[in-house]
């Protein structure tokens, strides 16, 4: 049996960060009959509010709970007459120690419990599917020229976040609206302190007006960002009226190009407004929460209503819910949704939380959220009227989601398209969105027939028109590092000579040495600013410029999977070229042994008959009619190939 736990409590994540204290508990006869705590230890348990953790033999956390009075709550687990459920009896049977953490208030206990459950994911707690991978739309409003992009990391950095989007469909729809109506920059330059020498590809394809080089004023850009925020908040009808007025003013001032752009924006806003009228379901800013379950699996739904418009539906799945009552299920979902997600839980808080049923901590939760929002946030359980109708709508959504899933327990879909590009940009710290990425690979057979390939991906998809392959000219043998350097040099030199757009990201197959070789090649061409990364085969880690340690990503991470896809495509392309060259060289070596048959005549024969087999199947007369061959040489060729 594990010994007593004696350490100071860690109250990281509590409202004011006050330190608590932990009590270690040794043997007593529990409800299941096992020796667990002594009466003396039990008597020394604190009588204040806090959190308790049951731990197993190996120290693992089995269960996290909160209590107004820790001593009474923990003691209740060891009362034979308590009539515990099978799950609780199994918890007590497995537990080897109990740890308590005292905090200053019930509110702090709520927050700490939610954070500890998220951190330890205890076996006996109801588990919400981790939402850390769910995407948000982020607007960097504190920047001089704000950006709008997708992120899965929420920080307390003053930016505006919209989400989370538990389904990629609504996220793409929102982004399509923003990108279709407005020309938001996608680069990561710290404008105006940092700026490129020339506009990037986005300017040339009409996706950005290049504020980086002064082609769009700061005031005009800021006004555009203000409109985007109103679109994401659902305020489109009044915005459309303002855009129409500006369009008319531009037309009257003969600024026809600006008027045409504003006309297109107004039409797009009208289309959004028509759709929002369909989703107008009631006034106010509200979150409506409900749950539904099937055995041990359950789902929780949050309908997000702002200014009377249904802006989205958040859906989270839950497991280990087989013995939880309906109230326990709703309580766990509500508390974890708002308190267990760090800053993400406090984004865009409503004025009211409408719940399908009461939760014991409702009043305390309202106090916490009010403090975070800086205004009153009420937690209500409506019984009649419009608010009750909204709760019933949330319950219907939860039931439908449960039926649609039918037991599916998959993770959220990986990012695709533009969302993936933003994910790559954020993970690799790129200044510009990697709309055009290229990958280099080298292939050889024991140091011979060395070739290199370059594959290109545009907006996350293969762009075969920009694939390249080359035979390595240097006598490097099996030195992949030098071969990579030569390939990068030749590819980018041709890029510059032909005036092609430069890639936003270079990927090389290999490790630190290959990355450095590519960097030297780019430096020698005056292209040191081109971003690059190396993907090491086998280890599957990334080597980044300026970072000593490689970056390891989870095997299912969408960024890693995309880079692996590029690397595998480059490898396939290189190997196929290597095999083609070896086959051609083999054919030429057999013909090269024929006396009097030089390279030009060999090429003429292969061009006419396609292969050595084709020559063998031809007659002397057919071979003799090949330019430069004649009857005597034709007879000699067939005799040599047939071994006569």
* 244-279 confidence digits (pLDDT tens): 888 888 888 888 888 887 887 777 777 665 554 444
User: Under CATH, domain 1-124 is a member of which superfamily?
Assistant: GIY-YIG endonuclease (3.40.1440.10)
User: Which residues neighbour 613 within 8 Å (Cβ) at sequence distance 6 or greater?
Assistant: none
- Return the pLDDT at 367: 92
Q: How many CA atoms lie less than 13 Å away from 378 in the CB half-sphere?
A: 9
- Return the pLDDT at 2: 33
- Return the pLDDT at 530: 92
The CATH class of the 286-405 domain is alpha beta
Beta bridge partners of 102: 50
- Return the pLDDT at 25: 40
Q: Please choose, from the candidates 525, 440, 532, the residue with its C-alpha nearest in 3D space to the C-alpha of residue 487.
A: 440
- Return the pLDDT at 271: 65
CATH 1.10.150.20 fits 593-641, yes or no: yes
Give the CA distances from residue 206 to residues 48, 183, 261, 357, in Å, rounded to whole numbers and listed in that order.
Answer: 62, 8, 12, 51
State the alpha helices, DSSP H only, in 406-509: 417-428, 480-498
The pTM assigned to this predicted structure is 0.50
Whole-angstrom Cα distance, residue 159 to residue 348?
12
Whole-angstrom Cα distance, residue 346 to residue 372?
7
Q: Where are the domains of the chain?
A: 1-124, 136-278, 286-405, 433-579, 593-641
Query: 3-class DSSP state for residue 469?
Result: strand
DSSP letter (8 states) at residue 296: T
Whole-angstrom Cα distance, residue 345 to residue 327?
21
Q: How many CA atoms lie less than 13 Å away from 452 in the CB half-sphere?
A: 25
Whole-angstrom Cα distance, residue 644 to residue 639?
5
Rg (CA), the chain: 33
Whole-angstrom Cα distance, residue 117 to residue 123?
10
Domains 286-405 and 433-579 share a fold: yes
CB contact at 8 A, 95 and 54? yes
Whole-angstrom Cα distance, residue 115 to residue 120?
9
Weakly modelled stretches of the chain, pLDDT under 70: 1-40, 80-83, 129-134, 164-174, 177, 271-283, 294-296, 322-323, 342, 344-345, 403-419, 445-449, 477, 577-590, 592, 643-644
Whole-angstrom Cα distance, residue 560 to residue 545?
17
Q: How many CA atoms lie less than 13 Å away from 457 in the CB half-sphere?
A: 25
Concatenated DSSP letters for 154-178? Answer: --SSS-EEE---SSHHHHHHHHHHH
- Return the pLDDT at 202: 87
State the DSSP H helix or E strand holding residue 455, giving kind and residue range, or none if neither: strand 448-458
Q: Which CATH number applies to 433-579: 3.50.50.60, 3.40.50.150, 3.30.420.340, 3.40.309.10?
A: 3.30.420.340
- Return the pLDDT at 609: 80
């Amino acid at each position: 049996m594990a010994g007593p736990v004696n350490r100071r409590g860690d109250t990281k994540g509590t409202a004011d960060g006050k330190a608590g204290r932990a009590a270690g508990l040794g043997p007593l006869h529990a409800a299941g009959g096992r020796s667990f705590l002594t009466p003396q230890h039990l008597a020394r348990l604190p009588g204040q509010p806090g959190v308790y953790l049951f731990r197993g033999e190996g120290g693992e956390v089995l269960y996290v709970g909160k209590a107004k009075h820790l001593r009474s709550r923990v003691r209740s687990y060891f009362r034979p007459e308590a009539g515990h459920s099978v799950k609780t009896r199994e918890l007590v049977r497995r537990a080897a120690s109990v740890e308590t953490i005292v905090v200053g208030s019930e509110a702090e206990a709520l927050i700490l419990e939610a954070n500890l459950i998220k951190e330890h994911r205890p076996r006996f707690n109801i588990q919400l599917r981790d939402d850390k991978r769910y995407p948000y739309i982020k607007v960097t409003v504190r920047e001089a020229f704000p950006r709008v992009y997708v992120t899965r990391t929420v920080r307390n950095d003053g930016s505006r976040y919209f989400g989370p989007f538990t389904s990629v469909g609504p996220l793409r729809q929102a982004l399509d609206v923003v990108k279709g109506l407005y020309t938001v920059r996608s680069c990561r330059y710290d404008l105006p302190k940092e700026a490129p020498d020339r506009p990037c590809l986005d300017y040339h394809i009409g996706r950005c007006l290049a504020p980086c080089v002064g082609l769009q004023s700061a005031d005009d850009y800021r006004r555009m960002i203000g409109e985007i925020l109103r679109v994401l908040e659902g305020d489109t009808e009044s915005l459309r009226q303002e855009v129409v007025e500006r369009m008319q003013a531009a037309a009257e001032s003969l600024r026809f190009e600006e008027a045409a752009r504003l006309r297109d924006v107004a039409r797009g806003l009208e289309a959004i407004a028509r759709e929002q009228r369909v989703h107008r379901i009631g006034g106010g800013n509200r979150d409506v929460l409900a749950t539904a379950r099937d055995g041990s699996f359950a789902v929780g739904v949050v309908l997000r209503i702002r200014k009377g418009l249904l802006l989205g539906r958040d859906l989270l799945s839950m497991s280990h819910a087989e013995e939880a009552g309906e109230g326990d299920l709703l309580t766990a979902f509500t508390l974890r949704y708002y308190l267990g997600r760090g800053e993400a839980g406090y984004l865009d808080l409503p004025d009211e939380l409408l719940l399908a049923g009461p939760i014991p901590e409702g009043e305390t939760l309202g106090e916490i959220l009010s403090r975070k929002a800086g205004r009153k946030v009420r937690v209500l359980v409506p019984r009649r009227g419009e608010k009750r109708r909204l709760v019933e709508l949330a319950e219907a959504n939860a039931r439908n989601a449960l039926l649609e899933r039918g037991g599916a327990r998959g993770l959220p879909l990986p990012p695709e398209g533009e969302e993936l590009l933003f994910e790559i940009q954020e993970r690799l710290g790129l200044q510009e969105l990697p709309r055009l990425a290229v990958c280099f690979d080298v292939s050889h057979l024991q140091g011979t027939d060395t070739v290199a390939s370059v594959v290109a991906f545009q907006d996350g998809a293969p762009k075969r028109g920009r694939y390249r392959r080359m035979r390595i000219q240097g006598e490097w043998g099996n030195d992949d590092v030098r071969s990579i350097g030569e390939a990068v040099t030749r590819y980018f030199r041709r890029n510059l000579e032909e005036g092609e757009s430069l890639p936003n990201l270079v990927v090389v197959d290999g490790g630190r040495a290959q990355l450095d070789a590519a960097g030297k090649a780019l430096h020698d061409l005056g292209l040191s600013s081109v971003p690059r990364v190396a993907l090491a085969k086998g280890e599957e880690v990334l080597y980044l410029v300026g970072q000593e340690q490689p970056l390891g990503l989870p095997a299912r991470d969408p960024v890693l999977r995309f880079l692996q896809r590029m690397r595998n495509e480059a490898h396939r392309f290189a190997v196929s070229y290597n095999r083609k060259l070896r086959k051609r060289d083999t054919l030429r070596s057999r013909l090269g042994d024929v006396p009097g048959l030089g390279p030009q005549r060999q090429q003429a024969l292969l061009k006419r008959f396609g292969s050595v087999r084709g020559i063998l199947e031809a007659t002397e007369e057919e071979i003799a009619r090949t330019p430069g061959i004649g009857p005597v040489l034709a007879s000699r060729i067939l005799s040599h190939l047939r071994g006569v």
